[in-house]
């Protein structure tokens, strides 16, 4: 069941988008809603903008008065943001106006202050003007009642700003899915324990908890299962009480890689159990007890990469949001790269802007166990299966870390 990267991602997308039941909802303060998924459509409570708004400091005029190359008008008052001009313009008149102020009745354009010359109440204009200049018309951004945000959208800063602009202080969002995290391995010991020389401190659960949180889930760390079926079984039983299960380690072909055998006992369907990527080849995706599970390879960099590529979009979709495939940047390669044919590779790199171009410099690292190497990187260069040699300066795709 070896799948290409693209096919594997398409399978995850298909399974998650066919998954029909949306999560339950809750109403929370908008100030706590960053990153959450909206569970209701939101409409404008009034026209946006609510009046014809000036976008420049200058003079509000009637464009019909300014059809000659030069004209002079009489200034009859001032319109400020928050302090509208009371009254209306007659022909031959103008009103001094500030950015953000309502355009007075009788005016249909704003001329920038820089294009005028004032002498007492007489204001000289040096050019022709068309109706609508420097004005955002009432209701042109949205009409009252028009939908401005959709159910299923993730609330980032701009969406929260938009919610505030239509008077929301509380908002209805989907509950975060509970994600069980299970680490496996006889050699793995809890972070707060002093390991023996042959033991490894648990680090994947810490990494995964942070990833789950930032992808919109609630992590539930179930601890470390030894490479032994009965304990793994009882931890998985607990895991399937959550909305999704993410395991790390124990999915390769070794004699003590027991994760697949044990999930199979729960009646699992396996959608794939290896992907032509490095790191991360033994990745497993399936469903058991009505819950999706991912078995991530235990090497920390593999855990990270497979989470970002596959689990993160899946979790966001399960949380009621859109399935967003990873998005690549384009960068020029700062060093030559060679690799064997057949795998899509993700190579830790430092990406930065040099002039107008992004440049990716692979960091020194010792393979998929090297978390310290990963910490030096802020992205991954993507090498496709047929790209066995990439020269300096070639354009490559980059996954941001």
Contact footprint for ligand AMP (CB under 6 A)? 183, 185, 187-188, 200, 202-204, 248-250, 252, 297-300, 369
DSSP, res 307: I
353 by DSSP, 3-state: which?
strand
Given 104, 216, 249, 280, the residue binding Mg ion (CB under 5 A): 249
Residue 203 interacts with, from Mg ion, ligand AMP, none (CB under 5-8 Å by kind) = ligand AMP
Cα gap 79→94, rounded to integer Å: 10
Given 49, 102, 185, 320, the residue binding Mg ion (CB under 5 A): 185
Residue 252 interacts with, from Mg ion, ligand AMP, none (CB under 5-8 Å by kind) = ligand AMP
The DSSP code sequence of 254-265 is: STT--HHHHHHH
Per-residue string for binding with Mg ion, 250-289, x by CB under 5 A? x---------------------------------------
Cα gap 297→282, rounded to integer Å: 6
Give, for 246, the enclosing helix (H) or strand (E): strand 244-248
In this structure, are strands 274-275 and 291-296 parallel, antiparallel, or unpaired?
unpaired
- Residue 313 binds Mg ion, judged by CB under 5 A: no
Cα gap 307→250, rounded to integer Å: 16
Closest approach of ligand AMP to the CB of residue 284, in Å? 11
Closest approach of ligand AMP to the CB of residue 100, in Å? 55
Nearer to ligand AMP, 134 or 299 (CB): 299
Nearer to Mg ion, 116 or 306 (CB): 306
Handedness of CA 84, 87, 89, 95 (dihedral sign): negative
Cα gap 157→387, rounded to integer Å: 39
Closest approach of Mg ion to the CB of residue 228, in Å? 11
Cα gap 117→350, rounded to integer Å: 54
Cα gap 193→297, rounded to integer Å: 23
User: Which residue is at the shortest CB distance from ligand AMP?
Assistant: 298
237 by DSSP, 3-state: which?
helix
Nearer to ligand AMP, 159 or 370 (CB): 370
Closest approach of Mg ion to the CB of residue 275, in Å? 18
* Part in contact with Mg ion (CB under 5 A); list of ranges 5-13, 66-74, 172-180, 242-250: 242-250
* Part in contact with Mg ion (CB under 5 A); list of ranges 57-65, 95-103, 181-189, 333-341: 181-189
Residue 352 interacts with, from ligand AMP, Mg ion, none (CB under 5-8 Å by kind) = none
Cα gap 224→201, rounded to integer Å: 11
- Residue 300 binds Mg ion, judged by CB under 5 A: no
Say which residues have a Cβ less than 8 Å from residue 7's Cβ, sequence separation at least 6. none
Closest approach of ligand AMP to the CB of residue 183, in Å? 4
Nearer to ligand AMP, 109 or 207 (CB): 207
Closest approach of ligand AMP to the CB of residue 194, in Å? 16
Closest approach of ligand AMP to the CB of residue 364, in Å? 20
Nearer to ligand AMP, 152 or 297 (CB): 297
CB 200 within 8 A of CB 142: no
Angle, alpha carbons 321-309-398 (nearest 5°): 115
Contact residues toward Mg ion (CB under 5 A) are 185, 249-250
């Amino acid at each position: 069941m070896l799948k290409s990267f693209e096919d594997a991602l398409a399978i995850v997308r298909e399974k998650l988008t066919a998954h029909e039941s949306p999560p339950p909802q809750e109403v929370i303060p908008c100030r706590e809603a960053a990153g959450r998924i909206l569970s209701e459509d939101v409409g404008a409570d009034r026209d946006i903008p609510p009046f014809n708004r000036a976008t420049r400091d200058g003079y509000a005029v009637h464009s019909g008065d300014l059809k000659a190359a030069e004209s002079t008008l009489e200034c009859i008052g001032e319109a400020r943001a928050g302090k509208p001009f009371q009254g209306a313009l007659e022909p031959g008149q103008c009103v001094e106006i500030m950015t953000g102020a309502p355009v007075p009745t009788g005016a249909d354009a704003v001329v920038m202050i820089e294009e005028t010359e004032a002498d007492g109440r007489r204001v000289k204009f040096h050019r022709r003007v068309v109706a609508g200049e420097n004005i955002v018309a009432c209701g042109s951004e949205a009409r009252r009642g028009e939908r401005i945000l959709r159910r299923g959208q993730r609330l980032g800063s701009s969406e929260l700003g938009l919610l505030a602009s239509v008077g929301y202080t509380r908002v209805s969002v989907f509950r975060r899915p509970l994600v069980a995290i299970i680490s496996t391995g006889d050699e793995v010991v809890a972070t707060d324990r002093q390991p023996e020389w042959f033991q490894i401190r648990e680090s994947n659960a810490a990494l995964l908890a942070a990833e789950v949180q930032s992808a919109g889930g609630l992590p539930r760390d179930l601890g470390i299962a030894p490479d032994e079926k009965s304990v793994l079984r009882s931890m998985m039983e607990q895991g399937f009480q959550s909305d999704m299960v993410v395991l790390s380690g124990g999915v390769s072909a070794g004699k003590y890689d027991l994760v697949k055998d044990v999930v199979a006992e729960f009646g699992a369907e396996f959608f794939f159990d290896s992907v032509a990527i490095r790191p991360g080849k033994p990745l497993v995706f399936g469903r058991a007890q009505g819950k999706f599970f991912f078995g991530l390879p235990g090497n920390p960099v593999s855990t990270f990469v497979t989470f970002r590529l596959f689990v993160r979009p899946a979790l966001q979709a399960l949380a009621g949001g859109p399935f967003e495939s990873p998005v690549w940047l384009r960068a020029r390669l700062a060093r030559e790269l060679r690799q064997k044919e057949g795998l899509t590779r993700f190579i830790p790199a430092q990406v930065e802007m040099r002039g107008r171009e992004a440049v990716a410099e692979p960091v020194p690292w010792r393979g998929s166990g090297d978390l310290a190497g990963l910490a030096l990187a802020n992205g991954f260069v993507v090498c496709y299966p047929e790209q066995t040699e990439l020269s300096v300066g070639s354009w490559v795709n980059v996954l941001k870390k």
